[in-house]
Structure formats: C-alpha cells, structure tokens
Amino acid sequence: MTTPWWRGAAFYEVYVRSFADSNDDGIGDLPGVTSRLDYLKRLGVDAVWLTPFYPSPQKDHGYDVADYYDVNPDYGTLADFDQLVARAHELRLKVLCDLVPNHTSDQHPWFQAALSSRDDPHRTFYYFADGKPDGSPPNNWRSAFGGPAWTRDERSGQWYLHLFAPEQPDLNWWNPEVPAEFERIVRFWLDRGADGYRIDVASALFKRKDLADVPMVKDPLSGMVRPDPAFLITDQPQVHEVYRKWRQILNEYQPQRVLVGEIFEPQRQSRYILPDQLNMAFALIGVPWDAHAWRQSIEVDMNALRGPGVAPSWTLSNHDVVRHVTRLGGGSTGRDRARAALLLLLGLPGQVFLYQGEELGLEEADVPPEARQDPLFIHTQGHHPGRDGCRVPLPWKKGEPNAGFSVADPWLPMPPGWDEFAVDAEEASGTSMLSFYKRALALRRRRSPWLPASIGWGPAPEGVLTYRRERLTVACNFLSRPVRLPACGRLVLASAPLAAVRDGRLTLPANSAAWLDSVPRG
C-alpha cells in the first residue's frame, strides 16, 4: 500500500493576517502567501495550513466567520485562493483550510435572522434559552474568554450560548440542518482544490442537551472548590458521527485529503484518530525545559496513540500560545533550547507542525496595551495579556520600513529590532536559525521514511535524554553545562557548533541536541 502523503509530513501554519502583505495596506493576504510559497518550499515543509480567511468582522481575527463560502476582502478573492492552491500544487505543497464549525460570527446571516424573532427557524441553529428565575443565565457555564458563557438577547429576553466571545455564538449541532450545511461547506473548498482541513475546537460541536450546571467539587489537595473536571459540557459521542461523514466525503477525492483536529488532550485523541474519522490531532509540548518533563510529555502522547500508522503530530508553538523561544528562557538561551527542542521532536515518529516565524527564532513580542486586539485581552479587561504577542507580522527584509512586511503600518506594531530576524538576513547566514531549520528538515525528509514507528529510550545521566530509532540516535542536553556521552554512531547534525564526537564520546554543549547515525558511510 502507498504511504499517505501526510504521514510523517512537516506542516507550516500561516497566520494569514501576519504572513505577507501584497498590497501594502498593513494586513497580510492570500496573494502575499502565494508570493512566498517558494520560501516555504525552500524551508522544506510539505503542507501549508491557512488560518481562517473567510469574511469576518475580525472580532477574533477570522475565528468568527460571517460567510463560509467566500474570502474576506482584506485577504483577497476566491480567485486569489484558487491561484494560491494552483501555485502550491505546482510546488508539490498541500494546502489545508481552517474550518470553524463550533460557532459563527454574530454577524452571520443565520444569527442575524435568529435575533429577528423567537419564531425564526434559524433560532434553533444556535442555543437560545430562558434564564433562571433569579434573572441569571441559564446555567453556570463559563466562557474561555472570561465571564459567563451566555449573553442576554434584550429583544427576546432569552440568552444565547458562546463558549468563546459574545460575538461568537455557538452552533446547535443537534439541529440536523447544521451538519448538513457543513457537509456542503466541506465539499465547497475541496472542490476548489483544498487538501484537507484543520478543525477548530474539534471536540466541542455537540453540547450537553440538558444544559445542566457544572457541579462544584472540593479539590482534595488544595481544599478549593472548583468545577468538576469529570463533568463534560462538550465531547459528546455524537460528534464522532460528524467526522465519519466528513471522512466519507474526503475519501471521494483524490489524492488523499486530510482531517486535523484541534484536540490537545492525548487521552481523548485516540477516540478521534481512527481510520473512519480524523487523521491526526496536535501534540503540543508546553512543559518547562526539564528532561524528565519532556520525556513524560512525549511518552504520554506516544502511548495515547497506538496502531498501524498512528503517531502524534508534534508542535512547539501556534497562534494561541506564547512563542516557545520565550517560553524556553528567551534571548540566546531560549534560541539554543529551541534548536535543541526541534531536533528532539523531528527525530520522533509522526508529523510535525511549525508555526510561522519559529524558523526565524522569533520571540513573543511585547505589544503595547493600546495596540492589543485579542478578545482574550479585551474581555478579561486586560487581566490576560492575550495572544497578540505571537501574532506580530513576519519580518522579511532587514533595514526596510516595517521589516519589509508592508509600507503601511502593520495591523499589530513590530517591536524595535524586529528586522534583525528578517528572512533575507537569515537566508544569507549559514549559522542562522532559518539555516538550521532547513538542514534539520532536509535531513529528516531523507531519513525518516526508513525509520521504524517506535523509539527506545537509552541510558543517560540526569538532565539528559537519549532515544534510538534503529540507526538514528537522538541526544538532548537540558543542562546549563556540557556533558559527555558514549557515542553510538557518527554525528550527522547538532544544534550547537561545539558538539563533537571524539574517541567514542559525544560532547554536547549546554542546551543542545544532536543526531547520530550508527550506519557507517561507504
């Protein structure tokens, strides 16, 4: 059997609004993405995941969709999407669209119709409910963006559900018209050449029918009263039938199309990553820089997924989390650790998802409060810093205004010195983070298909991890001092220039990793 194209692939997340601006209005767009596809091909990725580019009021920068069948005018046109896909396919790159099925924008025609009258049939496309006798919301569910998960519709006196921002009302998937409409949406973008979907909050589509309050329980360790973690609002069994149907639809298309779920909890992923449902879900490594914590995180993800051809999809950053260079210590230390972390993950079985700018070594940007636009910042009245810091536009050219992203002021301001990490400067340097990513991805592409889908942990001193995949050995030093280890092969790639194998011993500098090949050349 032919190995599916996505198995072991390297995916690259493009945050469309911040990737490349083709018309100098300060906002990234689809023609900008098309103009930089050659860059992504040189980087060595296999597929591009586009964050939502549909018409939207941009209250959550595209994750509040007002029309699932078109392109936001800020980002271009349907013709621009077609050209992007055509050019990507010429370069043998796949294109994934970001599908947002849990909620719409409050400006979507369905919701606007639902607000018009209690009797409008679109009312049942969402969750509208009467409040409690005391005037409070229908239940005690909380929004991920702070506050109650309900907003009162003043015209009718009822409340509507939103697990995220009030401008993002949740769809009622118990209404059969909702899944039927999304089957049409799925086909629409596949017919235009999309190679699959990343599915936003993939396990949340169906909510508890009874809309019951979440029980409050006492934590046995802290004694604090908190919501019962065993009480599920989402993750209802009916969601699996949705993905079975989508899988049937995708199977009608050739070449193979892929479904990627935003489901981070490893124990839940195994219920979704099945031959008749999703192909993969994310394995985000978000633990501190500690050997024991990283091994435990890797083991949890690998043990949760067992079966032929099933492996985690590793990632270090995305548009919702602080950039990992910053999380790993920031500055030169954070970048050293980021290089080591890349080698540690690229050696593992499975797919890898990169987030735009990590290949440049970008850190979390300090966006001034007055410039922040994330609803997480807005709806928590600034108590949560929000996610704008990882979404600042990419620097393309050193020494140019706004680092070559746009002549106009970018939609989020770039910090001073951002152009030091510009693509053109890093492409000209053989020691840059970008050059290192290219070497690592190229080596992985050549070797990974011939390696087994399992690893074996090797003996290592405290603060060091080693594992082996047949001929490949990966060693990572989490310590702030160099270590020497027995070498089981020749050094083929290292994250630090002073790593070396001499007299049968591998020297690993602080915060570094290396790949060794046990098969001699010749």
Q: Which residues are catalytic?
A: 200, 252
- 241, two tokens: 């039938």
For 196, phi then psi, to 5°, come to 150, -170
Calpha distance 210→233 (Å, rounded): 10
Torsion on CA atoms 141, 146, 150, 154, rounded to nearest 10? 160
Helix (H, G, I), strand (E, B) or coil at 492: strand
Classify residue 371 by its DSSP letter: G
Closest CA to 124 of 176, 168, 163, 162: 176
CB burial class (10 A; 0-12, 13-18, 19+) of residue 302? buried
Q: Which residues, 6 or more positions from 506, have their beta carbon under 8 angstroms from its beta carbon?
A: 475, 484, 485, 486, 487, 491, 499, 500, 514, 516
The rounded distance, in Å, linking the Cα atoms of 475 and 340 is 9
Give the helix/strand (H/E) hosting 296: helix 291-304
SS3 232: coil
Q: For residues 217 and 299, give the distance between their C-alpha atoms in angstroms, rounded to a whole number.
A: 30
Q: Which amino acid is at 414?
A: M
Q: What are phi and psi of 283, to 5 degrees?
A: -115, 90
The verdict on whether omega for the bond into residue 255 sits within 30 degrees of 0, i.e. cis, is: yes
Determine contact, residues 52/96, Cβ cutoff 8 Å.
no
Q: Tell me, what amino acid is at 403? A: A
